[in-house]
Homo-oligomer: A and B are copies of this chain.
Amino acid sequence: MAARPSTRLGEFELIARMARVLPLRGEGVVLPAGDDAAVVAPPRGEQLCLTVDEVVEDVHFDRRFAPADVGWKALAVNLSDLAAMGARPLWALVALAFPRGEPVARVLGAARGIAACARRYGVAVVGGNVSRAPALSISITAVGSVRPGRFLTRAGARPGDLLVGSGTFGDAALGLEAGAAPALVRRQRRPAPRLELGRGLSGIGTACIDVSDGLAQDLAHVAEASGVAAVLEESRIPTSVPYRRRARALADPGTPALCGGEDYELLVAVPPARLRAALAAARRARTRLSVIGRFERGRGVRVVRADGTERPVPSGHDHLRAPPFDSGPR
């Protein structure tokens, strides 16, 4: 069917079409979206984690991104926040806004991307809203569950804890560049939240954060919230083969891994006595986990080179001050 302008489709027909695409039912869903509110039954005795994030066209993505990728990522970044808490994802609510004349195919494409990510991670979409706006935007609230008190925060790292990181860093930033390898592009467009790893590290890690703004910057959040200093050993930062191949051409091959955002890997503080348990949890989650530094008394983040000298930390990413996302790796 040819794409018609969504202005001709009308609110209720569009919502009906989106409802056919999205997984509306799932664990705990008592009354699905479609009434004034959805009704859910929280897992008995558990606590809930709640988080909200928004992506906006020409701020977080542009027309080069397939709508389904935009939708996937809009949900995935929220699930990554749940992963960093050690939570199990359950439900999401989606507020979608778009300009008059936006092709229906694009709006439904975004819904299909949200749906694909929701199905992949077992999330039911229990609320939705569509609205006019000058630019396409997707605001998603995600809800997950944790055993009481077993959530991971940014605030628990202690001097002596090891700093461990999942997967590889810098791929997503390089994935924005023209001619980037497909594996890098995929990391940028279809991030995989480390949900299984996060749950596995609950009760093992003392602090956790997901890397959305860049390794150095998000590590600084952990150090600050925990009231400790973090030492990051640059040579131990894990990178992928496509990253290293691509980064060779850069004046400073380490910058994207250190400062590039949107990797959605986890940074975790682990007491040395629990490192084996953490590595076992990573194996169960089929995720690489690397020791990349340590926490000490003090404040701030120091990045040290293999020769022991200190490397200046480039300034962090600010979502409001930053140039548009597509001005190259950050």
Interface residues of A (CB under 8 A from B): 6-7, 9-12, 14, 30-31, 35-42, 47-56, 58-60, 81-82, 84-85, 87, 91, 93-95, 97, 126-135, 137, 139, 141-144, 146, 148-149, 151, 153-155, 208-210, 225, 318-321
Contacts and interface: CB of A to CB of B under 8 A. Distances in A.
A95 B95 CA distance: 10
A37 B140 CA distance: 13
Contacts of A37: 49-51, 81-82, 84-85, 87, 142, 144
Nearest to A225: B35
Given A35-B85, A85-B36, A153-B31, A127 B50 contact: yes
| Copies held by the complex | 2
Contacts of A10: 318, 320-321
Contacts of A58: 134
Contacts of A319: 11, 130-132
A315 B82 CA distance: 43
A20 B234 CA distance: 37
19 contacts: A10-B318, A10-B320, A11-B319, A30-B47, A35-B85, A36-B209, A36-B210, A38-B50, A38-B51, A50-B143, A52-B129, A53-B95, A55-B131, A59-B132, A93-B141, A97-B139, A131-B320, A133-B134, A139-B139
